[in-house]
Structure formats: structure tokens, C-alpha cells
């Protein structure tokens, strides 16, 4: 960072996660955060330390990722947005750039996150949704999948759907405010889930189980049992990354 007075910048970010190793900066691999930091640093001529609302995994997309960082006071956020968009298009787009309250922190200030998971449920694939939707050829029972969603609502320990080994003392209790399926027509199904926060790979793990329900491999009622079990062995397979999108962060 530079010496002198600083300001906090808030970016609203969309990206096609195909081909990126997620958001978090890792040396030697192409990550969204790494590319973004590079483009910001070239424009600002100082190092930046990014905080993001949701550390999306490899191949996961975002429409409403939020990022915050510090810069020098008086930075031209419009010029910054234009410059970064020129450098990173078409896969990464800064939808808006603004000065934020100095207390604003993209991660800690977030009150809720909304993820969307898209499925193409049709015997035949669609070349235009292949980057952003999971193609499930066998017919899904949407009613059963909707029924199974009920067990997700409210405050639960989501250990069964957390794919990372538990950190001692860290709570995996999360508050799911909404979880619903929408039939978009023409074979497209969308799952939308909102929670205070999510455990690691929780949405993909939940969708994997819901699709098993939709395929008739498991009963809708088992969702309650699996949540209560807190056991990772009870959950279904992981849905692929490319169907997932960090849709919105609420502050």
C-alpha cells in the first residue's frame, strides 16, 4: 500500500469461472483473485490485498461476487473499473466500483449469500448451457426435490454437507433462509439457496443429494435424517462445479 490517507474500495464482480482455479490467490495458477489483483496493481501502482465475500472454488462462477481492498484516498474508481474491464474481459467483469465506508469488509460485513445452481434436465445436452449448467439426462422428479428442500430451511449444523475436515471449535451451524427449485422451462432447472454463510462445498453437496432424490435413488424424507446425522458419509455425491454461481451477497 501507499503511505498517506487511504480509502476502501468495493467492487461488484462477475466471472465465468471456467478454466480458473477459483477465486483465492495461489502462486503459479490462474485464479480470478490473482488476475484481478494483478490488473488492479497495474492501474493503481501499489500492491492490493483483496477480501472477497465468497471464496468460490475451481470452476465456480459468480454474478455478484463482492471484493474490498484499500487504496489511496481520491482514487478514480471509474477509471479503475474501465482499466480492469479492458484487461480481464470477457471472462471477468467489474460490474461496479465504488468507494465504501472504511469499516466495510466484503466478507465480514456480509449478512447473507445467495447461490444458484443450474441443471439442464433433458435427454439431449445444450451447447450454450454446457459451461454453466450440469447436464442430467435422466428425468428428475422436481416435486420430490422440492419436498427434500424443506429440511434445509432454518438453523442446522451442516457438517453432513461440509466437504472440509472440521476445524476444532469452528461451528458448522448455518442459517438457511431460503432454498427452492424453479422450473425455468425448456429443460432448465434452477436451485437457489440463501444463507447467512455456507460451509465448504455445501451447495454442491446439497445439490448432489437433491439430484439423487430427483433420480429416485433416495427418498425426499432422508434429507432430514442426513442433516441430523452430521456425517459426511451420509450425504450424496458432489454436484459438478460448473453449475454453481455465487449470485448475490447481501449487506
Separation of alpha carbons 88 and 97, rounded Å? 15
Unique residue bearing C-alpha cell 494483478: 38
Least distance in angstroms from the C-beta of 67 to a copy of itself? 15
In angstroms, the CA 115 to CA 117 distance is: 7
Nearest to a copy of itself of 116, 156 (CB atom): 116
Under a CB-based contact definition with an 8 Å cutoff, are residues 6 and 17 in contact? Answer: no
CB closer to a copy of itself, 85 vs 229? 85
Residues engaged in binding a copy of itself (CB under 8 A): 14-16, 61, 63, 85, 89-96, 124-128, 130-132
- Dig out the grid coordinates for 175 from the structure: 442459517
Q: Is 16 a catalytic residue?
A: no
Quote the least distance from Cβ 157 to a copy of itself, whole Å.
34
Catalytic residue among 57, 105, 150, 178: 57
Exposure b/e, 122-132, CB count within 10 A at least 16 = b: beeeeeebeeb
Q: How far is the CB of 162 from a copy of itself (least distance, A)?
A: 28
- When the beta carbons of 4 and 90 are compared against a copy of itself, the nearer one is 90
Supply the minimum distance, in Å, between the C-beta of residue 178 and a copy of itself: 21
Give whichever of 28 and 90 is closer to a copy of itself, judged by the CB atom.
Answer: 90
Please tell me the distance from the alpha carbon of residue 136 to that of residue 32, in angstroms, as a whole number. Answer: 28
Tell me the torsion sign for CA atoms 135, 188, 111, 22.
positive
What residues act catalytically? 57
Amino acid at each position: 500500500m501507499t503511505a498517506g490517507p487511504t480509502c476502501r474500495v468495493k467492487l461488484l464482480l462477475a466471472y465465468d469461472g471456467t478454466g480458473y482455479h477459483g477465486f483465492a490467490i495461489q502462486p503459479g495458477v490462474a485464479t480470478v483473485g490473482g488476475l484481478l489483483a494483478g490488473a488492479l496493481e497495474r492501474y493503481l501502482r501499489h500492491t492490493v490485498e483483496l477480501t472477497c465475500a465468497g471464496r468460490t472454488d475451481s470452476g465456480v462462477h459468480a454474478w455478484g461476487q463482492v471484493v474490498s481492498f484499500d487504496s489511496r484516498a481520491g482514487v478514480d474508481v471509474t477509471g479503475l473499473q474501465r482499466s480492469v474491464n479492458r484487461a480481464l474481459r470477457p471472462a471477468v467483469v467489474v460490474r461496479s466500483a465504488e468507494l465504501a465506508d472504511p469499516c466495510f469488509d466484503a466478507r465480514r460485513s456480509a449478512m447473507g449469500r445467495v447461490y444458484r445452481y443450474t441443471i439442464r434436465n433433458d435427454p439431449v445436452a445444450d451447447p450454450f448451457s454446457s459451461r454453466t449448467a450440469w447436464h442430467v439426462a435422466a428425468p428428475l422428479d422436481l416435486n420430490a426435490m422440492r419436498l427434500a428442500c424443506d429440511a434445509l430451511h432454518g438453523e442446522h449444523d451442516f457438517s453432513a454437507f461440509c466437504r472440509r475436515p472440521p476445524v476444532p471449535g469452528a461451528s458448522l451451524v448455518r442459517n438457511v433462509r431460503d432454498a427452492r427449485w424453479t422450473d425455468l422451462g425448456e429443460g432448465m432447472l434452477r436451485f437457489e439457496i440463501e444463507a447467512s454463510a455456507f460451509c465448504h462445498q455445501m451447495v454442491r453437496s446439497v445439490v448432489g443429494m437433491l439430484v439423487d432424490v430427483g433420480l429416485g435413488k433416495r427418498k425426499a424424507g432422508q434429507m432430514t435424517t442426513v442433516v441430523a446425522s452430521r456425517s459426511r458419509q451420509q450425504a450424496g455425491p458432489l454436484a459438478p462445479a460448473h453449475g454453481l454461481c455465487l449470485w448475490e451477497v447481501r449487506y
